[in-house]
Structure formats: C-alpha cells, structure tokens
C-alpha cells in the first residue's frame, strides 16, 4: 500500500511575515509607512495580525518558525525588533533619524508584486493580513 504524502509546508520566518505585511500594506496605501522600532501600537498591530496568520497557517501550508508576544510592561516584541533590524540591514527599511527611532518603509509600486511572489504563501494571504494590520493600527 503506498505511503500517504504529507502536505507540503513552507517555513515562514518572522522576516517574511513582517516584509509581507509591510509590502501588502504599501500596495494599499500611497504614502510610506513611518513608525518607531519600539512603538507599542505597531507591535500590537503585528501581534493581532500574527494571531490571524496562526488561524490560516495550516490551511496555507505554512510552518511558522516564530512567535510574537509583546512584552507585558513595554508592549514591544523582541521578534519584531529583530525583524525590523534585518529589514534595515537588507535596505527594506530606512532610518529617518540617527537615533534609530523613526523607520520608514517605502517601495516602488512596480517592485511590490515581484517581492511578494518570492515570499512563502499566496500574496492574497498577505493582502488579507494587511487589512487586519491596518485596522489594528486605527
């Protein structure tokens, strides 16, 4: 009797998650996204978006290799702070000041879809996550 194949899964890192949400958000808005690395509001919005991702991960064949748990006192997540730093290193995020306080995410619209196509999971998932992220920021 042939062995059943396990469904194929793709690992989704925190960097992929943050980049995907930011790219999909950029696709929906005309202006660059500006935020601070430790802003509790941005961390809470990503945490809410992560909760929505957990609900869809198995269906989308994604294996989440990270968790997002904002600190109970400060409201920030070390996972997100590390992803922001990685995005800075690879040039996706830009510093707006010398104190590493304000960050800006800006990408040319023609580059969004090719960047999203290389991320694990369907681009529609990131589009839906961007809606949740935007609502959480309101």
Please give the span between the terminal C-alpha atoms of the chain, in angstroms, as a whole number: 55
pTM score, whole prediction = 0.89
33's tokens: 């996204």
pLDDT tens sequence across 105-115: 988 888 999 99
In this prediction, residues 84-106 reach a mean pLDDT of 84
What does the radius of gyration of the chain's CA atoms come to, in whole angstroms? Answer: 16
* Alpha-carbon span 65 to 15, nearest angstrom: 10
pLDDT tens sequence across 12-28: 999 999 999 999 999 99
pLDDT tens sequence across 25-76: 999 987 888 888 888 899 999 999 999 999 999 999 999 999 998 888 888 8
């Amino acid at each position: 009797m042939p062995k059943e194949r396990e469904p194929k899964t793709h690992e989704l890192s925190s960097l992929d998650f943050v980049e995907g949400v930011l790219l999909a958000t950029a696709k929906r808005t005309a202006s660059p996204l500006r935020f601070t690395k430790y802003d509790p509001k941005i961390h809470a919005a990503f945490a809410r978006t992560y909760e929505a991702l957990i609900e869809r991960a198995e269906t989308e064949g994604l294996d989440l290799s990270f968790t997002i748990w904002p600190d109970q006192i400060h409201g920030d997540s070390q996972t997100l702070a590390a992803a922001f730093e990685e995005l800075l290193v690879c040039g996706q995020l830009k510093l707006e000041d010398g104190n590493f306080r304000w960050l800006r995410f800006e990408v040319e619209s023609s580059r969004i879809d090719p960047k999203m196509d290389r991320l694990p999971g369907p681009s529609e998932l990131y589009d839906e996550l961007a809606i949740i992220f935007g609502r959480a920021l309101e």
